[in-house]
Chain A
Amino acid sequence: MSTPAVALRCQALVKRFADTIAVDHLDLTVPTGTIFGLLGPNGSGKTSAIRTMLGIYVPDAGSVEVLGSSDPMAVRHRIGYLPEERGLYAKMKVIDQLAFLASIRGLDQKEATRRAGAWLERVGLADSAQSPTGELSKGMQQKVQFASAVIHDPDLVVLDEPFTGLDPVNTRLLKELILEQRKRGATVLLSTHLMEQVEALCESICLIDHGRAVLSGVLADIKASYGRNTIDLEYRGTAGALASVPGVRRCEDTGQEARLELEPDADAQAVIRSLLDRVEIQAVRLDHPHIEEIYLEKVGHRETAPDTTHAATA
């Protein structure tokens, strides 16, 4: 089995529903062996894009190439998919359920059952193997679902909002499991709007809004392209002392700490000098913007202003 350099690529992908365009000429390249973040606000078309790329929806235009094949269904046994809204057979025993989901992905019954047992052990649910799945808590079911998505050691793992509803302990476990997948050599496509996880896990990202890619590339490159345009500050001083510093576009001030986003053409050193006149600086650091800040800059209008496109057509 040859391993192409690109695990997943789509070009000018379009998916329309009756009166909306869910995926709008989307270009995406996921390099093999990386963790790729698909970001975007709610309703931006992440899930539709994933479904179209995986062949669950038939695209209206454009092309998809998954694991070297233009037909996702042809390589479906090499893909592991965890959909956003999840369900399992409530009455089926946990172990039977995992074994069934593994077997339809091409494992024989014996191997499927063996791996199901091993995975339950790995996610700490060995004691619940014989329980009906419906009796498990939501977080436990989510772990079962993650296990079902990767139990057949797929080359491409697609996780749609995998962290939703997990407690900190399980969030950490899931992060470990995702990193394990990459270590194994798999490519992971991670759709999420939890920016900390993106920052911690993803090498490359694609930020989509209204079905279009508004930003994509290697995360480090993206951040570098913004330059060190942010000042992290620990200070002592009076409230409001940091208001309207020249050259600062936006200021997040908690009273002892502040994060200052600079105007594009501002001189960082000059700004720091002017800060010295206003407050007593404890610590200062020039930083790249967080992915969250880039995200908010790119799609922030969606969170603050009501969607005007619909109002105009209504």
Chain B
Amino acid sequence: MNVTQIIKIARREFLARVRSRAFILMTIMVPAFMAAYMFVLPLLFSTTGTETLRVAVLDTGTDLADALADRLAEIDRPRIDVTERTLVPDDSDETRAPYSDAVRRETIDGYLVLVEDPVIVARARYYARETGNPPMLRALERAVESTILDRLLVDTGVDVAQVRALLRSDLGTTTISAEGEEEGGFEAAFFSTFALAMLLYMAVIINGQGMALAIVEEKSSRLIEVILGAVTATEFMTGKILGVLGSGLTQLAVWVGVALFGLVFVLPTLSVGAEIAGVDLASILSIELLVYFSILFTLGYFFYSILFATVAATCTSTEELSQALFAAMLPLIVALFATFYVLANPSTLATRVLSLLPPFTPLVMLARINVLPPPLWEVWLGIMLLVLGILVTGWLSAKIFRYALLMHGKRPTLPELLGVMRAS
């Protein structure tokens, strides 16, 4: 292998990738979507479409309308304006018809109907144009619950304020690891694992696919004959993969740079974003995690690039490629789904085995490290096995590469490829 030849191939591939429209688009789009997800979405959810919600309260005889109206008045996001409290005979369609009309005419935004219930005193139903806003519905639900509780607990001696406080409390979590205890644990781990897994997944898909497509083009245009007249198949493959690795790392650097900038400079200025997204900077960006992420990202990227390049070498047209690439992407997709399982079951035997299988190691091991740090030897065993996997795959694919690259018209069959691997 001649290193200068590899560098020339890698340089061309890197520039071709980095200048491609897909690369530029995705490099910009991913941070844009991330920003939208982190800042804009919470802002949208935190405020409802209408600043003040006009709600009528209809009571079929529970005598809770006034109490409910008081509770509704306590809600401040969105503010609720109780337009009227009316006693109605029942909750039949005819009775509700004028109110439904009012909703349609937009003179009110919705109305609550209170119905007697033999067990829990009363139930409520909310009729409105807009019923899909979870924070708003939760606020209404709490108001109704609170109203009914007041009635249930009256004369029991139980402190209503205490019960209300209880209702609002959440189960706090703290993760215990070898290093110590960490508050917040699961949510932060889930968020960061998912984000990192997606980064690897997308970088591989975008850049790997571009490279695979380029190989098939070079093959079908016979440019490959000219290039293979000047460099060896192994030099060609190595150069391609290094070029793609470079473009992937460049993309990642841009993404991470934008993310850090966002987290450090933009997020604090948007208090609402920080509060809603529940992002704890320290828990996401521990140095240890970043080191492991860099190692696993680079190795995983390498592994899948080799896989993609080999698959592309056996294809003769872009149509064939899209089918064949799916097979190469399958382990990555499985690994992505496996991370969800791993997040919930970080220490089962299945998780441990998955994290040591090279195609799954990058994502699964990362998830494990993030959620429940495995013993150090397991992490490094996984990394060593992944390196071994890369070497074996690279060695096999170099053999396939030379043979398959110059085949035109038909794809080599699996027995043919196995023959090539055994030979030489």
State which of A54, A56, A87, A103 has its C-beta within 8 Å of the C-beta of B8: A103
- Determine if A86 and B221 form an interchain contact, defined as CB atoms under 8 angstroms apart: yes
CB-contacts of A39-75 with B (<8 A): 51, 54, 56-57, 73
Stretch with Cβ within 8 A of A (4 or more), from B185-193, B227-235, B250-258, B284-292: B227-235
State which of A79, A87, A91 has its C-beta within 8 Å of the C-beta of B218: A87
State which of A51, A81, A92, A104 has its C-beta within 8 Å of the C-beta of B9: A104
Q: How far is the CB of B3 from chain A (nearest CB, A)?
A: 13
- Determine if B8 and A100 form an interchain contact, defined as CB atoms under 8 angstroms apart: yes
State which of A57, A85, A88, A103 has its C-beta within 8 Å of the C-beta of B406: A57
Q: Mark B220-252, 1 if CB is under 8 A from A, else 0.
A: 111101111111100000000000000000000
A73 surroundings in chain B (CB, below 8 A): 232
**Count of chain B residues near A, Cβ 8 A:** 22
A105 surroundings in chain B (CB, below 8 A): 230
State whether A56 and B228 are in contact (beta carbons under 8 Å apart), knowing that A89-B16, A100-B12, A103-B8 are contacts in the complex.
yes
A89 surroundings in chain B (CB, below 8 A): 16, 217-218, 223
State which of A76, A87, A100, A104 has its C-beta within 8 Å of the C-beta of B221: A87
Q: How far is the CB of B412 from chain A (nearest CB, A)?
A: 11
State which of A86, A92, A104, A149 has its C-beta within 8 Å of the C-beta of B222: A86
Our count of residue pairs bridging A and B at CB distance below 8 angstroms stands at 60
Tell me what chain B mostly uses at the interface: helix, strand, loop, or mixed: helix
Q: Mark A97-135, 1 if CB is under 8 A from B, else 0.
A: 000110111100000000000000000000000000000
Q: Mark B1-43, 1 if CB is under 8 A from A, else 0.
A: 0000100110010001001100000000000000000000000
- Determine if A87 and B220 form an interchain contact, defined as CB atoms under 8 angstroms apart: yes
Interface residues on A, range: 20 to 34
B12 surroundings in chain A (CB, below 8 A): 92, 100
Q: Is A210 an interface residue (CB 8 A)?
A: no
- Determine if A85 and B222 form an interchain contact, defined as CB atoms under 8 angstroms apart: yes
A82 surroundings in chain B (CB, below 8 A): 226
State whether A104 and B225 are in contact (beta carbons under 8 Å apart), knowing that A56-B406, A76-B230, A77-B230 are contacts in the complex.
no
Complex Cα–Cα for A148 and B221 (A): 15
State which of A79, A83, A100, A103 has its C-beta within 8 Å of the C-beta of B225: A83
Which A residues are within 8 Å of any B CB, using their own CB? 51, 54, 56-57, 73, 76-77, 79, 81-92, 100-101, 103-106, 148-149
